Structure 1
């Protein structure tokens, strides 16, 4: 029994100390307006320390403003991370017009909304299995204007 415990501790320690991919949420920008929603784009930078590409299982997201979730979703199987390199990922976040209109009533004249974008980047690591990197960023984004709608 003692040998099994020592083996478990050894494996746990090795897994805890092994290099893992690191990610950062660099920016959130207005992308486009469609007939039913406004799309924002989260830009994520992910560094893969391994000599082999790593599959990304999924990216989940929640966009919050004024204390409530205004958009959420999952992007299944968004590709893989390049080996020994940094991969840039675009995470499109669609917000329905109805939600933006209710926010616009609350914000008044400055046409900016405070937001918090939470992302979960789930990667398939060798030996470990699925590993989720939590990311979040707070800031301000502009609501689209009439001129944005006719571009």
Structure 2
């Protein structure tokens, strides 16, 4: 009977020179240690409550077989403070002789951070150290740890203050009045805000409401103020007793609610605002 030779997966039979050249690792064995690198950091969504980020890790497998990625362990720190940590189990498989991007989703909730560390204030840009450890099972070598680290920045946004500075009217009649709201926006953040869109609901007096959208870009510098001039049209005859206050030049109660759509260095944000009360004077625009 012809002898048969048993060849196991780990290369107990001597491979050809070509196979040895292909499979030989830097350590002299048949398998090489995979490599990994952080090559991307993306802010997916930012709001006044939280920021959703994704860390991109490129893992390269130089071996002739797929290798399972057992766990991903991550830790985010700021100035020595541990902010968030977690483990992503069974994160997939890295294909043979290939590379694969592993996306690690992380959510930072500002309230949790502020409740834990009083020295982190709203409006600041917070530096972070993102530490990632990949645990991979490599044949023969065993479990391998690939530690990674990246320094990044994200903001802890502070809600801008929107207030009514004054009202000027261009044309006044009981049927239809056109006016301008001068809204003062105070940016309390340590980064610029680019106001792209303002949507608002404005109540003058008790009942009537004016709704409008302003789409005119205005940049408000860090820790600075800006004025948005917003045109409105309303029907004074629908205001009831408030119309007589306007005619007599008295102050008129108001309320307004809405949202600002702004650009930041870290991505776009939608910021709600509201303001109630007040007795603002309705002034005729100069030159009319």
- Answering whether residue 91 of structure 2 is matched by residue 78 of structure 1, we say yes
Q: 2:146 aligns with which of 118, 129, 133?
A: 133
After superposition, the C-alpha distances for 1:114-145 in whole angstroms (9 at most, x for unaligned) are 11000110001001221110001113233457
- 1:26/1:143 Cα in 2 relative to 1: closer, same or farther (>3 Å)? farther
- 1:150/1:86 Cα in 2 relative to 1: closer, same or farther (>3 Å)? same
1:99: how far off? 3.2
Asked if 2 retains the 8 angstrom alpha-carbon contact of 1:72 and 1:93, the reply is no
Q: 2:155 aligns with which of 139, 142, 151?
A: 142
Structure 1 counterpart SS, 2:45: strand
1:89: how far off? 0.6
Residue aligning to 2:60: 47
Residue segments in structure 1 that go unaligned for 5+ positions in a row: 1-13
Alignment length, in residue pairs?
137
Residue aligning to 1:97: 110
Asked if 1 retains the 8 angstrom alpha-carbon contact of 2:47 and 2:157, the reply is no
- Answering whether residue 64 of structure 2 is matched by residue 64 of structure 1, we say no
1:37: how far off? 4.4
Richer in helix (by share): 1
Q: What is the aligned-residue RMSD (CA, Å)?
A: 3.0
Q: Calculate the TM-score normalised by the size of structure 1.
A: 0.75
Residue segments in structure 2 that go unaligned for 5+ positions in a row: 1-23, 160-260, 262-267, 272-288
Structure 2 counterpart SS, 1:98: helix
Q: Calculate the TM-score normalised by the size of structure 2.
A: 0.42
- 1:105/1:124 Cα in 2 relative to 1: closer, same or farther (>3 Å)? same
Judge which range, 115-124 or 17-26, deviates more. 17-26
- 1:35/1:143 Cα in 2 relative to 1: closer, same or farther (>3 Å)? closer
Asked if 2 retains the 8 angstrom alpha-carbon contact of 1:122 and 1:131, the reply is yes
Residue aligning to 2:120: 106
- 1:34/1:112 Cα in 2 relative to 1: closer, same or farther (>3 Å)? closer
After superposition, the C-alpha distances for 1:38-96 in whole angstroms (9 at most, x for unaligned) are 32111101111011111000000000112111110000001011211110010111222
